[in-house]
Amino acid sequence: MTTTVRPEALAALDAADPLAAFRDRFHLPRDVVYLVGNSLGALPEAARARVAEVVDREWGDGLVGSWNTAGWFDKPRDVGELLAPLIGAAPGQVLVCDTTSLNLYKALFAALALRPGREVVVAEAHAFPTDLYMIEGALGTREGHRTRLIGRDAPDLASALNEDVAVVVLSHVDYRTGALTDLAEATRQARAHGALVIWDLCHSVGALPVDLDAAGADFAVGCTYKYLNGGPGSPAFVYVARRHQEAARQPLSGWHGHRAPFEFAVGYEPAAGIDRFRTSTPQVLSYAPLEASLGMWREVDLGQVRAKSLALTGLFMDLVESRLGAAGVEVVTPRDERRGSHVALRHEHSYGIVRALADRGVLGDFRAPDTMRFGFAPLYLRHLDVWNAVAAMEEAVATRAWERPEYANRPTVT
């Protein structure tokens, strides 16, 4: 079937796409097919004006008064409320602040304290490494606590759960393969054993509907610079289910998480509710592009995002298999619907292929040792982009473009 795909048919799909109009709301360099929105989302046009407003009017004219008049102090909470519907969270449970790594650390400490007498943290061997590193750092300070790894040649979640497990840290979408874990089912399994779950939503927020409240989730963290287009280094989010908030204590007890920061009292007393997960001064300028993007996301139907994401990733996998399978390009991402919005391919010359594609205007990325990743952000990509990307890959592979000597040098960030 896939070999009969014609570009004219794909153009017709693009013309009928209910999300098509969003593409014009992004700045996309001419002649570039941008397939790295799963790492750094594209620039929403509205972000420029919002950045200028924050710099010129709020900072330039408003000066220090903007902490009150422009709502700077309340950014973590207010932007958290803008993001909350995208992860199925009722108000009062999401903050946008700090980074994913820091929020994971805070959530982990809080969760461990909610499960005294249990000493095991279950984590995935294939998690994004910062999650494992932060767990290692956090557990290093606690006698007796240890990590039990699951997945990749280790037991799965069900067989790793028992009465010793305090916390389970899971990625909703695997950063490497794009595999999607059933959030509701894994949460249910962990809760049945009395464990708490911390979800890393970095690769699912903005890529598919997420429903934390409905799943009875405990904690979640994630970044906003991928599918949410918040810009490089935009602040991350943390979700704490309301039922845990009163008892939850996080370790980074900075003054913005204090009950009354401007009383300048000597002892730390946590703020009520989710605000106790704040640490210190919000990175005000970094919220600006994210606010503009989240304003746009309020108009987006996540069901349409999911449908288009499955269509684009499915088309890409079909075309790669039919046109490049024989040349040794292997699709790693699950073919059924248990996938997020990026596709991973394997080839012995993956790095060179990614570099050669970039020289042909198709941007993807490489993850050692041999994986190429291509992210399909449904708000600004078209079916025809998929076609063009595969055509460029066919040409690069047919000409063994990876043999160019300049591709032997790798930059620091891949």
Ligand X SMILES: Cc1ncc(COP(=O)(O)O)c(C=O)c1O
Q: Among ligand 3DJ, ligand X, none, what binds residue 413 when CB lies within 5 to 8 Å by partner kind? A: ligand 3DJ
Among 10, 33, 39, 230, binds ligand 3DJ (CB under 6 A): 39
What is the β-pairing status of strands 362-363 and 33-34?
parallel
Of residues 70 and 95, the one with the C-beta less far from ligand X = 95
Q: Which residue is catalytic, options 34, 105, 219, 225?
A: 225
Using rule CB under 6 A, residue 413 touches ligand 3DJ:
yes
Of residues 96 and 112, the one with the C-beta less far from ligand 3DJ = 96
Among 53, 74, 81, 101, binds ligand X (CB under 6 A): 101
In the complex, least distance from residue 226 CB atom to ligand X, rounded to whole angstroms: 7
Q: Write the CA distances from 259 to 101, 106, 210, 278, integer angstroms.
A: 24, 17, 31, 11
Q: Among ligand X, ligand 3DJ, none, what binds residue 350 when CB lies within 5 to 8 Å by partner kind? A: none
In the complex, least distance from residue 99 CB atom to ligand 3DJ, rounded to whole angstroms: 9
Using rule CB under 6 A, residue 99 touches ligand X:
yes
Of residues 42 and 202, the one with the C-beta less far from ligand X = 202
Site for ligand X in 234-273 (CB under 6 A): 236
**Binding window for ligand X (CB under 6 A); candidates: 26-34, 99-107, 286-294, 325-333:** 99-107
Indicate if 225 belongs to the active site: yes
The tokens describing 233, both together, are 């280094």
Site for ligand 3DJ in 139-198 (CB under 6 A): 175
Among 171, 181, 350, 371, binds ligand X (CB under 6 A): 171
Q: Which residue is catalytic, options 75, 106, 226, 278?
A: 226
Using rule CB under 6 A, residue 371 touches ligand X:
no
SS3 assignment for the chain: CHHHCCHHHHHHHHHCCCCHHHHHHEECCCCCEECCCCCCCCEEHHHHHHHHHHHHHHHHHCHHHHHHHCCCCCHHHHHHHHHHHHHCCCCCCEEECCCHHHHHHHHHHHHHHCCCCCCEEEEECCCCHHHHHHHHHHHHCCCCCEEEEECCCCCCHHHHCCCCEEEEEEECECCCCCEECCHHHHHHHHHHCCCEEEEECCCCECCECCCHHHHCCCEEEECCCCCCCCCCCCCCEEEECHHHHCCCCCCCCCHHHECCHHHCCCCCCECCHHHHHCCCCCCHHHHHHHHHHHHHHCCCCHHHHHHHHHHHHHHHHHHHHHHHHHHCCEECCCCCCCECCEEEEECCCHHHHHHHHHHCCEECEEECCCEEEEECCCCCCCHHHHHHHHHHHHHHHHCCHHHCHHHHCCCCCC
The tokens describing 406, both together, are 């300049």
Among 22, 26, 175, 380, binds ligand X (CB under 6 A): 175
In the complex, least distance from residue 377 CB atom to ligand 3DJ, rounded to whole angstroms: 14
Indicate if 26 belongs to the active site: no
Q: Which residue is catalytic, options 200, 218, 275, 385?
A: 200
Indicate if 308 belongs to the active site: no
Pairwise CA distance, residues 11 & 142, whole Å = 57
Of residues 98 and 275, the one with the C-beta less far from ligand 3DJ = 98
Among 223, 248, 329, 363, binds ligand X (CB under 6 A): 223
In the complex, least distance from residue 179 CB atom to ligand 3DJ, rounded to whole angstroms: 13
Indicate if 34 belongs to the active site: no
Binding residues for ligand X, rule: CB under 6 A, are 99-101, 128, 130-131, 171, 175, 200, 202-203, 223, 236
Binding site residues, as ranges? 100-101, 128-131, 200, 203, 225, 255, 281
Residues acting as catalytic residues: 128, 200, 225-226, 373
Binding residues for ligand 3DJ, rule: CB under 6 A, are 39, 128, 175, 413
